[in-house]
Structure 1
Amino acid sequence: MFQTRSLSAALLGTLALAAVALPAATAQTVKGQSITVNPTAPAAVTGLTLIDADTNKPVPGFDPIQPGATLDLARLPARMNMRANVSGAVKSVWFGLDGNGNYRLQGGVPYSLCSDNGGDYEPCPAAVFAPGAHSLLATPFTAANGGGTAGLAASLTYTVVRSAAAQPTPAPALAVTSFTLINADTNQPVPGFDPIRPGARLRLSALPSRLNVRANVGSGVRSVRFAQKGSKDYLENEAPFALCGDSKDKSGKKGDYLNCGANRFAPGQHRLTATPFSKMFAGGTAGQALTLDFTVER
């Protein structure tokens, strides 16, 4: 028993001496070591943003869309999309809409509800923003095509309404008040472009192949002169006042729109000005003209 205790004491003394005898450099090195645990942030959808599909920018006041938000179509852009905002290692997002859990799979940034071309947003179908209550679920995944691990999803409920339009300001007499893009095959306005908003982007691949533009006017207008850089001025003497002219249909009614030449909708920046007059052939008094800047893309 005595020997065992002496041996243990001797060993402890030796170990203590060894610890004391560590070189200063080694002691400092050991003292300075540390281990930091930095786990990978989980894939997550952090919110959803309403996007103006003509400008590709968030709609003010809806970035992000608050839960239970009310979207009033009378006060919002005519063409809209939604974007899922994400964090962590997200490679794809599944969208579920109004009970359809597989509404759409988006495999690349930005994660848009209704498709985009490298950030050039497509407008959503009318059902996405149909008046009524809607529910949306966006689930992120760590691999393409909904593969890997599902992350933290975000759900959103929103209500779409269309409030009564405010009483319009009476159009000034003898004025061009707006422009409308016309499908020259159907003679009807192109959805989303009635009227054409200032700075609009017209993507030819998403529009009818035959187009025209109508100048909408106030009272007392008898002719309209159209001026567009790169094209010859055009004078229209009878309503509807069409940029590229129109003819009478079989019943003798004017309004069978002609197709504009390619130069009117050539890719690039355009400026169109329409000036109204109180008499035919640009006679009488010139009224309030309207200028529209727009961009054309393939």
Structure 2
Amino acid sequence: MTTSRSLRAALILSALVATVPAAVHAQTVKSQSIVVNPTSPVSVGSLTLINAATGQPVPGFNPIQPGATLNLAALPKSLSIRANPVGTVQSVRFGLDSNLNYHSENIAPFSLCDGSDCAEALRPGQHTVIATPYTGANASGQAGLGLSVTYSVVNVAQAPTPAPAFAVTSITLINADTNQPVPGYDPIQPGARLQLSALPKRLNFRANTSGNVRSVRFIRTGNRQYVENEAPFAYCGDTKGGNGKKGDYLACDGAFFTAGTHQLSATPFTQMFAKGTMGGTYTVPYSVTP
């Protein structure tokens, strides 16, 4: 009797299970499963330190190299850390130090934090950020290849670099007929193009200096040298004008403006005739077209 009753109960249970819709089975499995696919096409390629005020990468930290040191005293005040994904990533889960579920981000750019709540990630000391990409929102779907980066944070004030006591700060193109700078070339920007047809016919170059400069040595492409001993320091020389002061510029000859690329360097000295202490050389490359 007992055996017959047990057999009947088993048959009833089997019938009930068989009548449960397949969709219910599928939903239960899906809701309780976490799919991790090591061959997923998504990954995090790198982490970047972001200036949260501008949304741009901080120079030198794009990407953040493993073992990098972030000196807060030399960085923007508002910072964030961005995960750079590869593939179609819908969300990124961030871990910070021992908290492996620190933050999940569903919208690109995938940021660990913004400038207002990054204090924990930027507290002085050593930190590790783990960024794991997912194919679904809220860290769902397939988990791709994550990235772990360890870095250090310090806050050490840096002494400002002292300005040189004397220097050539720039070079200006001068209209030798008016003794005035040529508009657009004060100073000459590195890589500037001098289109002769759009410029005055008579031209000169002036070295702009700071500090106690007594002479400037000019060197142009082809090692053509000239030393100017009195301000204004003109490459092709100048004379005294009607007021008795230097600054009536002479015109450079045509060899200075042959078509092609050129390079002009100017080095300051503390004494006349390129003597005494030599300062740093200022160099500007430029090109000439007809």
TM over 0.5: no
Q: Given the two structures, how large is their TM-score scaled by the length of structure 1?
A: 0.42
TM-score (norm. length: structure 2): 0.43
User: Which has the greater radius of gyration?
Assistant: 2
